[in-house]
Structure 1
Amino acid sequence: MLLATILVVAANLRPAITVVGPLIERIGDDTGMDPAMLGVLGAAPVFTFAAVSPFVHHLGRRVGRDRAIFLALLTLTVGTLLRAVEVIPSALFLGTVLLAGSIGVINVLVPILVKQDFPDRVPMMTAAYTAALTAAAAAASGTAVPLADALGWQAALAGTGLLALLGAGLWSIRLSRRRGSSAPRASERVPAAAGEERSVWTSALAWQVTLFFGLQSSIFYFFLTWMASIHTAQGFSERAGGYGVAAFQAVGIVATLVVGRIMQRRDDHRLVAVGLGLAMATGVAGMIVLPPLMPVWAVVCGLASTATLMLSLTMVSLRAGSAAQATRLSGMAQGVGYLIGGVLPVLAGQLFESTGSWEPPLYAALVVIGIYTGLGYVCGRDVRIPPARPTSAHR
């Protein structure tokens, strides 16, 4: 049951967001939004993650991790349906912010649940839930255009709400098995920080993990928002662009499971970080040099991107020195990280609007990849953030 509930909640972390990319030009045509505004729509979830993440540990401490995730799944369902309501002004943006806030809560808490429920198998379990996340996201991207053709893009956006409702139902079973008192059990509460606990905000390692997480996220959301448009700019159809976004995500399932097994066997992950960075740079450079092979480069980038996401989530769990510190590091990495991650999709939309070409955004992506690969090498070392400040007795 622990595994099933974690996988089903992971499957809800991206479909409501990934369904937008393949439909973004259609949404722009119907709503009159220009590329810059569409870039803001694509980046809105990332900025919402950034706003919500630093405060999630307060919610977890107050109601418990399990109950917080259940409430987030219900709110995700509401936000997804609201986004598809045409009669409400700005419903597209309001629903997007609401669903993204819900996902932001789950984003922070799921790595902590993995560390709590499977303490000896963090890399492999992180790989498993990243694979579930990726599979659901790819399915949403691949079916977006056919559903929009049949039912309209609003219905295609609303469809992911059914998955959120299913997740809430299964999560309620987990809650019922742990019910027994009105207060959260000790195992599911987020512990309060000890008076002498070291703040993650003053740790160089925590900042390295945070910047690595943020920069790799910027590449993921850049492609999530604009991969389909890059395809169509090279002469591919809108449906082919949707399949390209789906392939970009789907191939990552294999990559996460393979890389997760490698990481489970060793504690030093520097070579993994460098290898994934080189693979991503190869795919982006290929889009610039040989754009007719876009489907090939989408697959290469997808293999590297999803595995890098799994690597960054694993680092959040493994680099913390205590459970309370892991919660705070997760909030810091995703709060600051997603703030960084939202910049590139918006910048890419503005660059394309001003130049009429996708080459400048792709060159910008190469710079970002180079920086995060260096950071991945540094924070891939087998080190931990000290869990507590030394007391006078130890000095």
Structure 2
Amino acid sequence: MKLLSFRVKKSHLLLVGILLVAANLRAPFTSLAPLLDAIRLDFSLSAVQAGLIQTLPLLAFALFSPLAGSIAVKYGIERVIFAALLLIAAGIGYRSYGGLFGVYGGTVLIGLGIAMGNVLLPSLLKRDFPQRVASMTGLYALIMGVGAALGSAAVVPLSQLSALGWNGALFAMLLFPLLAMAIWFPQLSHGAARLAIAGEPQQRSGSVWRAALAWQVTLFLGLNSLIYYVVVAWLPSILRYQGFSAEQAGSLHGVLQLATAVPGLFTGHLLARMKDQRAIAVTVSLLAAAGLLGLLALPAFATLWVVLFGIGAGSTIILGLAFIGLRSGTPAQAAALSGMAQCVGYLLAVGGPPGVGLLYDATHSWHGPLLICAALALVMALVGYLAGRDRCLTPAEPLNEGRLSEEER
């Protein structure tokens, strides 16, 4: 009985640790946005220079994601996740009090730490919760959203305290990684023992880049990232173009953030009941498309369309992350697929907002960008239909992964 109780307690501690790690995968990044104007004024930055601060984490996500799995194979998932938290903590400190170089350099460190956590959490769930991948993914996605909302809501009031300013408000985000490290520290003792489990198919997992199924998962998550970051970046401008005031546009932008967190309450549990996820993948993609087309055709009902898009986009994020565990055969393969999907996804996301901005500058209209994003959401529905089939990457036959047999055809 004592042994069973000890195992239960270890499992609970691991679960709490995973959720606290998840809370660090958005908040240190998104909490910067409400203070960007104050930082611009403090350092006399141009709009382009300030925009680069927001782009650097996405570049770090894209460039470093493919490396995280290999690093975890060598050193152990637990240890690398702890190192990721250390990077986030160091980045928060440097960004807060390192001057202008610290703002940029600290942001890069935060991006590197988040990239490792983004890649390795799906692998960890595949290894330690193989029968609960979908529900656990929904839970940690919910915590990511809640952490981001708390961080964004707290920084402005904190910055208005004379003793803190924007530096102190951003430094307060250090609470997230410090708390996570304190709870995660006991997991470090398992790193060496579990290293073989985490890395056994290292050579085979690299072949995910040649698997059709892996590309279907990657494009589903990548298209979602592209559409989501375009809308997050430009929704206030779109609403202002359609006649809304700055205050109304800002409020609806907040509604969007809340709506994207809502699917975490139910999507994971829904996925856990399904072996085949084609129907839900198509449905949530069409919700996102409907929200975009609604903003274009009937902007007077913007609140409805923003909520629809937020629920659709939030659900596709959870579904895409769940696909990483559901479609992979081993924890190492999940890490490789996660690195591939997030590398491609964030590369697409980096180019989306500036590309849409250039299109608006050329046409002076948001109709084209909204139509393009809606069309991409329809493509995402098609890719989601393919990725949602009850199939799995096969490490033993890497070159045939994702291909249908004659019988399946």
Q: TM-score range by the shorter chain?
A: 0.7 to 0.9
Higher relative contact order (CA 8 A, sep 6+): 1
Which one has the bigger helix percentage? 2
Moved more, 355-364 or 251-260: 355-364
Correspondence 1:194-213 to 2 at 5 A: 199-213=207-221
Preserved contact between residue 22 and residue 145 of structure 1 (Cα < 8 Å): yes
> Using the alignment, how far apart are the partners of 1:168 and 1:254 within structure 2?
27
Deviations 1:210-238 (A, max 9, x none): 11111111122223334455456654446
Q: Which amino acid aligns with 1:63?
A: Y
- Distance in 2 (CA, whole Å) between partners of 1:169 and 1:241 is 39
Normalization by structure 2: what TM-score? 0.84
Partner in structure 1 of residue 6 of structure 2: none
Q: Deviations over 1:265-320 (max 9, x none)?
A: 11111111111111111222233334454443332222111111000001111111
Question: Is 2:148 aligned against 1:140?
Answer: no
> For residue 99 of structure 1, what is the aligned residue in structure 2?
110
1:79 alignment partner AA: G
What pairs with 1:1-395 in structure 2 (closer than 5 Å)?
1-25=13-37, 27-28=39-40, 31-85=43-97, 88-150=99-161, 152-175=165-188, 178=189, 184-186=192-194, 190-193=198-201, 199-230=207-238, 234-237=243-246, 243-353=251-361, 357-389=365-397
Distance 1:296 1:197 in 2: 43
Residues 12 and 163, structure 1, Cα contact 8 Å, conserved in 2? yes
Asked if the contact 2:64–2:115 (Cα under 8 Å) also holds between the matched residues in 1, the reply is yes
- Give the distance between the partners of 1:145 and 1:53, measured in 2 at CA: 31
Instruction: Decide whether aligned partners of structure 1 residues 78 and 62 sit closer, same or farther in structure 2, where only a CA change above 3 A counts.
Output: same
Task: Compare 104-113 and 136-145 and name the one that shifted more.
Answer: 136-145
Aligned residues: 384
The gaps in structure 2 that reach 5 residues or longer are: 1-12, 400-409
Distance verdict in 2 for CA 1:372–1:39, change over 3 Å: farther
Distance 1:21 1:198, change over 3 A: closer
Q: CA deviation at 1:201?
A: 1.3
For residues 342-373 of structure 1, give each alpha carbon's deviation from its aligned partner in whole angstroms, at most 9, with x where no partner exists: 21122234344555554443333223222222
Separation in structure 2 between the aligned mates of residue 26 and residue 228 of structure 1, nearest angstrom: 19
Given that residues 206 and 385 in structure 1 are in contact (C-alpha distance below 8 angstroms), is that contact kept between their aligned partners in structure 2? yes
Partner amino acid, structure 2, of 1:54: P
- 2:301 and 2:33 mapped to 1: Cα distance? 20
In structure 1, distance between residues paired with 2:362 and 2:40: 17
2:206·2:336 contact (CA, 8 Å) conserved in 1? no
- The residue type paired with residue 378 of structure 2 is G
SS in 1 for 2:214: helix
Any unmatched runs of 5+ in structure 1?
none
For 2:209 and 2:48, locate their aligned partners in 1 and report how far apart those are by CA, in whole Å: 33
Distance 1:374 1:242 in 2: 32
Hey, what's the Cα distance between the residues in 2 that align with 1:196 and 1:166?
36
CA distances 1:160-189 after superposition (whole Å, capped 9, x unpaired):
2221221112111333xx35xxx6112676
Higher mean C-alpha displacement, 248-257 vs 3-12: 248-257
3-state DSSP of counterpart to 1:120: coil
Counterpart-to-counterpart distance in 2, 1:325 and 1:197: 5
Q: How big is the shift at 1:136?
A: 1.1
**Alignment check: 8 A CA contact 1:252 1:305 kept:** yes
AA in 1 matched with 2:29 = I
Q: SS where residue 190 of structure 1 aligns?
A: helix
Shift of 1:111: 0.6
The separation in 1 between residues aligned to 2:41 and 2:348, in whole angstroms, is 28
Distance change in 2, residues 1:292/1:18 (3 Å): farther
Distance 1:65 1:142 in 2: 32
Partners of 2:153 and 2:398 in 1: CA distance: 53
Further displaced range: 347-356 or 66-75:
347-356
Give the AA of the match of 1:124.
S
Residues 192/155 of structure 1: CA separation in 2 closer, same or farther (3 Å cut) = same
8 Å Cα contact 2:201-2:395 kept in structure 1: no
3-state SS of paired residue (1:89): helix
- Cα distance 1:194–1:2, how it changes in 2: closer, same or farther (>3 A)? closer
Shift of 1:90: 3.3
Q: 2:77·2:195 contact (CA, 8 Å) conserved in 1?
A: no
